[in-house]
Amino acid sequence: MRPVIGGALLLLGVSSLPVLAGNGEVITKPPGRATTCTPCHGRNGEGQPARGIPRLAGLNAEYLERQLDGFNNGARKNRVMLMIASDLSNDERKALANYYAGMTTPKPETAPADQAVIAAGAKIAATGDPSNDLPGCGQCHGAAGLDAGANFPRLAGQSALYIEKALRSWKAGDRKVDPMGVMANVANKLTDDQIKSVAAYYESLPVAAPAPTPESRP
Ligand code: HEC
Ligand code: HEC
């Protein structure tokens, strides 16, 4: 079934099933509202790469909460997420952020991008574009685009379409959640081709660090 926005919004009024918080605690009373999110973000927070709907699973809890607060107060402009977030209490936003942060959902299958495009993106991620004072993305987002803390969201395995959209929204001035405004500065330096290649690169990365092999364990 193809989820429709109207249907999803109708669900907002419905009280929901118990959900697990990030710490494994069962939330049996509101804010158990994750059923509202599943038509778009998927049952396990995997997102919908083909529609540019972001993956939420495994993103940092503080980051997710900051984004929900940002949709609610208009610092991050998105019509759908404004309606969703403004219907949630502060406690519900926190509980949902913890819930998705605790998920270790595998990456949905996507058609692999052209290897040359991915390689061009890997270069931007590693070294940026010195001719244009563009820092490498990895300086803030981590070498593998994973787990760089509350300020720098995980990019590994995020959908390319969504990453492209996010970078364009900074160019358009529609995203002002980070207090230092660093991403607007980064995005404004990126050409369309660079946006496409760096987005394809991050989509291609695994969503979790590989488990340590016996030899690599201390
Ligand atoms: C009708 C579809 C829809 C529903 C329902 C929905 N979302 Fe979203 N969500 C989106 C879209 C589209 C975006 C991307 C917005 C943008 O481009 O800025 C998004 C973005 C987000 C983000 C930002 C992610 C990031 O990486 O920065 C968070 C957090 C989020 N949604 C949480 C939720 C939660 C929690 C719920 C349920 C209470 C929910 N959403 C319900 C469509 C939806
Ligand atoms: C100086 C540090 C810094 C550098 C360099 C940087 N970023 Fe970011 N990035 C951030 C911060 C901080 C945020 C969180 C912004 C927020 O909270 O809204 C972010 C968020 C993002 C997001 C949003 C993720 C999501 O889930 O919505 C994307 C996409 C992104 N960066 C891509 C890039 C790319 C691509 C590059 C390299 C071209 C890059 N960043 C370089 C600091 C940085």
Per-residue confidence band for 16, with pLDDT thresholds at 50, 70 and 90: very low
Write a three-state SS string for 143-186. Answer: CCCCCCCCCCCCCCCCCHHHHHHHHHHHHCCCECCCCCCHHHHH
pLDDT, tens only, 97-143: 999 998 999 988 888 899 999 999 999 999 999 999 999 999 999 88
182 lines ligand 2 (CB under 6 A): yes
Provide the whole-model pTM. 0.87
Q: How far is the CA of 26 from the centre of ligand 2 (A)?
A: 32
Structural domains for the chain = 5-101 (1.10.760.10), 115-204 (1.10.760.10)
User: Does 6 score more than 70 pLDDT?
Assistant: no
The residue whose CA has the least distance to atom 26 of ligand 2 is 153
pLDDT recorded at residue 208:
77
Average pLDDT over residues 178-199: 94
Is residue 1 a known part of a binding site?
A: no
CA distance 44 to 56: 9
Per-residue confidence band for 215, with pLDDT thresholds at 50, 70 and 90: low
CA distance 101 to 89: 18
User: Does 47 score more than 90 pLDDT?
Assistant: yes
Counting residues of the chain whose pLDDT is more than 70, the rounded percentage is: 80
pLDDT, tens only, 137-180: 999 998 888 867 888 999 999 999 999 999 999 999 999 998 78
